[in-house]
Structure 1
Amino acid sequence: MINTRVYTDDERRHFLRYTRTDRWPLLGRFPIGADRHTGLLAGMLSCPPGLIDELSASLDDELRAAAAELLSDDAYRRAVRSLPYRPGERVVAVGDSITADRLGWFELLAASLELDGEPRPTLVNLSVSGNTTADVIERFDLLEAAEPSRVLLMLGTNDARSHGRTSRFRMATAAETERNLRALAGLITEDLGAEVTMITPTAVDQVRVDRAFADAPVHWDAAEIAELADVVRAVDPAAIDLHARTRTARPGNLEDDGVHPTVAGQRFILTCVLARLVEPAGSFGSDSGALPVLG
């Protein structure tokens, strides 16, 4: 069936922001050329392939401009250069749409390292929108193929996702999420010999979620997200606790759907992650630390 829906360029750009078909498990195992990915996206969004290239380039330009702006702050540049990652290491991010975001915290960090020009590790983003902890276990072969030395693991938001208009079946119980996270920790550290850093899911805004998804058969509950943040802390007491830092929403840090961070919100997430990576026992719990509060 051919998609005949008409999209605006803003809708197409939003879709591209969170969708990277080259990270889809099937296409990761059976790769296709870049032009075919472009054609696939063009077919999905009912537009010429040239528009996909144009919109993707605009996102790349926005990312690089944001990274350059961040690097103009001396404290941020020092923090980036103080990361405990050696040149030649492979740092892999695994998560859902919040990390898959082309304007997201991990992409901002990767762009910052590239623009800074210093010898740097290789950063690889394997995040896929919509992924649950079980999905990541299923595609563990692709994580293995990336040959990580360190893994940043941020999952849980979609484990708490529920489907159905009345029954609202949750994708995973807290016990299932805990089992999956412990399994992933073991697979990463034992099978791959890599170091894993767990990150809690960010908080959601229940009022915005209820409004945005009022007529949709999908939903999130703020209390269930908080429950899974507790699970991450139980599995890894040293986890980076983004949930605690995002529980009180900052103006402009969340999209209208109440789930996804805005670009300002992604900058704030990067501040929190970077501060903990640079100073594991430092001033993470305070906005008055060495790093500027971004967003």
Structure 2
Amino acid sequence: MTGPRTPIPETRTTAAPIRTDAQRREFIRYTDTRRWPLLGRFPVGDELHDDLLAQMLGCSRDTVRSIVAGLTGQARGTAADLLADRGFRSALREVTGRPGERIVAVGDSITADRLGWFELLSAAADLDDRPAAEMVNLGVSGDTTADVLERFDLLEAARPGHVLLMLGTNDARSHGRPVAYRMISAAETARNLRALIDLVVTGLGAAVTVITPPAVDQRRIDATFAGGAVGWRADDIAEVAAIAREVAPAAIDLHGITRDRADGDFLEADGVHPTPHGQRLIVTDIVARLAARSPGGDPRDPRPRR
């Protein structure tokens, strides 16, 4: 994507008007109110979710549904292209080929993205001609590790057999001007990740795979958020990735994998969020690394290091 872009929900600190379908599509791409904690604990009907988005965006319910359908169709089209590759299809079956298991993804907007890596994984598993595990996306835009601790009851309610945990980009997010403060300190990120792993492994008896956040592009971040009240530093996200590797030695190091891609077409114009092409690369990397683990083995991370 080139040129100005509408900030996604986690970076919207003052309500700028959303007037065009392109802006609405951008917002809906990263927003699914069904995953919002309050509405997860007190669910409402699908029509009310559509109405909520429509009122937020100043459009009709039909416009919301049309945008969602378009994004879903795009994700399924990409998934079909991925399945055409024999290597990806074989790796996918190794990862998802356990009917009755439930694979749950927990993360921020990179996971919540309707064109994102987990939606592509879910669509590919659905389009494949073999039975597969059930896929549940609990990604919520803007989430930090602390936010996921707060809504752990919803993860428990999903009854996961395997949790894919990609967090940290928003732990490194800073707020304020002319001075700025980071959302979550390095020590707090380490503590929260240890707690989440222990809650999943000991509390739920489930497997967990930690995935470090992807690399970012400082140049584009500075251009997009200059003078704003929200920002990121590439060094802070690198620090979060290092913490995740320390806490969970078996983590998939997506940050390391993507470091050399950050200045290309891997990221959107904001320098933080992967493009649809970037998300395709992410799911390919994650599936390959999950499949490369011992055949039929348990992908459970070891207990977090104290």
Name the TM-score, length of structure 2 as normaliser: 0.89
Q: How much has 1:81 moved relative to structure 2?
A: 1.5
Match in the other structure for 1:91: 103
Distance 1:60 1:84, change over 3 A: closer
* From 260, 270, 292, the counterpart of 1:279: 292
Q: How much has 1:55 moved relative to structure 2?
A: 0.6
1: CA distance, partners of 2:17 / 2:96: 47
The answer to whether the 8 Å contact 1:18/1:129 transfers is: yes
Q: How much has 1:5 moved relative to structure 2?
A: 3.1
Query: Mean Cα displacement is larger for which, 103-112 or 248-257?
Result: 248-257
Identical counterparts, % of pairs: 58
How many residues in Structure 1 have an aligned counterpart in Structure 2?
A: 280
The answer to whether the 8 Å contact 1:94/1:154 transfers is: yes
Match in the other structure for 2:154: 142
The answer to whether the 8 Å contact 1:104/1:263 transfers is: yes
SS of structure 1 residue aligned to 2:284: helix
The amino acid that maps onto 1:271 is T
Deviation >6 Å, runs of 4+ = none
The amino acid that maps onto 2:47 is D
SS of structure 1 residue aligned to 2:139: coil
Is 1:18 equivalent to 2:18 in the alignment?
no
Match in the other structure for 2:218: 206
Structure 1 runs not aligned, ≥5 long: 283-295
1: CA distance, partners of 2:96 / 2:133: 10
Match in the other structure for 1:243: 255
Is 1:101 equivalent to 2:113 in the alignment?
yes
2: CA distance, partners of 1:229 / 1:206: 16
Q: How much has 1:4 moved relative to structure 2?
A: 9.4
The answer to whether the 8 Å contact 2:18/2:24 transfers is: no
Is 1:253 equivalent to 2:277 in the alignment?
no
SS of structure 2 residue aligned to 1:280: coil
Match in the other structure for 1:154: 166
Match in the other structure for 1:46: 58
2: CA distance, partners of 1:209 / 1:85: 39
Could you list the per-position Cα deviations for residues 168-226 of structure 1 after superposition, in whole angstroms to 9, with x for gaps in the alignment? Answer: 11001110000000000111011111011000011110000000001310000000000
Could you list the per-position Cα deviations for residues 150-183 of structure 1 after superposition, in whole angstroms to 9, with x for gaps in the alignment? Answer: 1000000000000002211100111000000000
Could you list the per-position Cα deviations for residues 208-253 of structure 1 after superposition, in whole angstroms to 9, with x for gaps in the alignment? Answer: 0000001310000000000000000000111000000111126211
Q: How much has 1:6 moved relative to structure 2?
A: 4.5
The amino acid that maps onto 1:279 is A
The answer to whether the 8 Å contact 1:205/1:249 transfers is: no
2: CA distance, partners of 1:178 / 1:281: 27
The amino acid that maps onto 1:262 is T
Match in the other structure for 2:303: none
Spell out the pairing of 1:51-70 with structure 2 (5 A cutoff). Answer: 51-70=63-82
1: CA distance, partners of 2:16 / 2:190: 42
Could you list the per-position Cα deviations for residues 92-125 of structure 1 after superposition, in whole angstroms to 9, with x for gaps in the alignment? Answer: 0000000110010111011001001201000100
The answer to whether the 8 Å contact 1:174/1:227 transfers is: yes
Structure 2 runs not aligned, ≥5 long: 1-14, 296-306
2: CA distance, partners of 1:220 / 1:133: 16
Name the TM-score, length of structure 1 as normaliser: 0.92
Match in the other structure for 1:267: 280
Could you list the per-position Cα deviations for residues 239-279 of structure 1 after superposition, in whole angstroms to 9, with x for gaps in the alignment? Answer: 00000011112621100000000011001111111111000
The answer to whether the 8 Å contact 1:84/1:277 transfers is: no
Is 1:178 equivalent to 2:197 in the alignment?
no
Is 1:195 equivalent to 2:207 in the alignment?
yes
